[in-house]
Amino acid sequence: MQVTGAKILLECLLEQDVDTVFGYPGGTILNVYDELYSYKDRIRHILTSHEQGAAHAADGYARSTGKVGVCFATSGPGCTNLTTGIATAYMDSSPTVFITCNVPEPLVGRDSFQEVDITGITMPITKSNYLVHHASEMADVVREAFAVAHGGRPGPVLIDMTKNATSELADYEFLPKEKHFTQGRLGDLVRRSSHGLKLPEPDAADVKTLVDMIAESDKPLLICGGGVVRGRANVEFTEFAEKVDAPVAISLMGAGGFKGRNPLTTGMIGMHGTQASNMAVDGCDLLIAVGCRFSDRVALNPETFASQAKIVQIDIDRSEINKNVMTDHHIIGDAKQVLAALNEQLSQQHHDAWKKYVFSFATETEYDEAGDTLTPKQINDAIARICPQDTIVATDVGQHQIWVAQHFHYDYPGQLITSGGFGAMGFGLGAAIGAQVGNPDKTVIHVTGDGSFRMNCNELATEQFYDLPIITIVYNNGVLGMVRQWQTLIYDERYSQTTLDRGPDFVKLAEAYGLAGAHVHTVDELEAALREALASGHGYVVDCAINEDEMVRPMVPGGAGITDFLVC
């Protein structure tokens, strides 16, 4: 049957069980949006305020559900507005498919209105990208794109298509998802092993070697990284940790991969890691990192990092091995499969003396609560008391991000959604929208700072229109807190352009968008606002006044040894 390229695209989305798309229309993608009108009972479209918000929403949807997030945008500025969202998804390995339309084929390369080489622009920040010239290519490309986004190490894929490819007629035949890997272009690629579309099987000899290394270790330490979260390997990781009987340090992206209340947890590792985690890295004799790429926020100085230990890296992506830190052994594979193989062979280990040493150091930071303003700890504690334990937390980037990463206890993958690798301010509200759409029965809170919130507060309009009951909590200190902290500690208190002594009034802003809100200055006011927000069942903004000199502690400066705390 011959149908338009736009219809083939939407039929292929249904093949992938896609029922939700985030996006923003424009001239070149109008054929797709026109066809989407006929699919509105099967594909829900969430219209955001800005393409960047749509990109972050698709990402938040993917991270919280484990499904592939999908986003539409038009050509030129429409698709370039996606790039921050694409880079964020790339750095944090989030399975997403971005679909954009370009100018008609005859106008390509002529500097036509709203033309841009988006495949060239996104080449370094996507797993793969495609330019569809004709409708006849559409089905093969879409099926391959979803397989690549979700296969192996997850990540973003971009499909750009010329406008004529969406209006041309071509043959289309429905193909069940289970047959995509055996037929058409994707079937050919699988047979040729051209892409990392399948999970690599862990090597049995490599697994045995690590089992032997664990048996010889007196002071093992585990790092739970983002790969545990992406691979939904939290159950296998917990069994592994308890069999090894080792302390567990958690990277920012690993939050939710290992329960924060497990007695083996030492807390965050790295620049803002706990004393227990960082001292354990310095003193261990075997360090096993699962799904952790040893970024510069974890292994601040690779030359001195875990200098007394044999280092083992377990990762699905071979290119991550020995990239940032040289290892003594590694296993290539999906965290869930590798850990299951290890658990089969491991006998119960015991490391009481080593654990006693590690847990003699602090696993949480004690903050002064004697002042006359709300403290981050008071805010965190109030949220933990009032909100359900399984609340999804989506953050922006800055001090608030680290405070909630350090002090909340995350129980499952996808519970903390944050821009770890790219550190994109403005990520939070879009991500929270995606998480709430994907998890309508869960409480979703958006934690932000007054600096970050300015960058994406236009998405309050989206939240209000779709009646998403997201609670935004603003840690409002009137400054760019994390940058000011660096200026205090490293730049001799020269506060250059980090004071935000200006509007808006965030509660009035929320009201302008049709939402409710409250300014709070005490714990009692905060608890009352949270209860009111939860009871309302609608979006709500809580503006929390905190001191401008509140700091994230501990802090180790970039490039220093992991125990060289600047502040504790």
Q: What gap in Å lies between CA 364 and CA 356, rounded to an integer?
A: 16
Active site (annotated) includes residue 482: yes
Residue 492 φ/ψ region, left for φ over 0, alpha for ψ in the -120 to 50 degree band, beta for the rest:
left
Structure tokens at 556: 């180790």
| Active-site option among 35, 51, 320, 463 | 51
Please choose, from the candidates 471, 470, 474, 494, the residue with its C-alpha nearest in 3D space to the C-alpha of residue 484. 494
Q: 129 pairs with which residues across the strands? A: 158
DSSP H or E run through 20: strand 20-23
Angle at 333 between CA 264 and CA 299, to 5 degrees: 55
DSSP 8-state code for residue 52: H
Q: Is residue 422 within 8 Å of 392, Cβ to Cβ? A: no
Q: What gap in Å lies between CA 438 and CA 432, rounded to an integer?
A: 10
Active site (annotated) includes residue 51: yes
DSSP H or E run through 405: helix 399-407
Angle at 58 between CA 379 and CA 297, to 5 degrees: 55
Active site (annotated) includes residue 259: no
Q: Is residue 96 within 8 Å of 122, Cβ to Cβ? A: no
Q: What gap in Å lies between CA 63 and CA 434, rounded to an integer?
A: 9
| Active-site option among 253, 482, 551, 555 | 482
Active site (annotated) includes residue 114: yes
Q: What gap in Å lies between CA 257 and CA 336, rounded to an integer?
A: 11
Q: Is residue 453 within 8 Å of 481, Cβ to Cβ? A: no
Q: Is residue 45 within 8 Å of 396, Cβ to Cβ? A: no
State the CB neighbour count (10 A cutoff) for residue 396: 31
Q: What gap in Å lies between CA 233 and CA 258, rounded to an integer?
A: 9
Active site (annotated) includes residue 163: yes
Question: What DSSP line would sit under 439-476, residue for residue?
Answer: -TTS-EEEEEEHHHHHHHGGGHHHHHHTT---EEEEEE
Question: What DSSP line would sit under 325-365, residue for residue?
Answer: S--SEEEES-HHHHHHHHHHHPPPP--HHHHHHHTTS-SS-
| Active-site option among 163, 219, 355, 377 | 163
| Active-site option among 2, 113, 201, 326 | 113
**Which amino acid belongs to residue 551?**
M
Structure tokens at 159: 């499909």
Q: How many residues in the chain?
A: 568
Rounded to the nearest 5°, which phi and psi values hold at 81? -65, -15
Compute the half-sphere exposure of residue 226: CA atoms within 13 Å on the CB side of its CA: 24
Please choose, from the candidates 36, 22, 121, 130, the residue with its C-alpha nearest in 3D space to the C-alpha of residue 431. 22
Cis? peptide before 554, omega within 30° of 0: yes
Instruction: Provide the annotated active-site residues.
Output: 51, 113-114, 163, 482
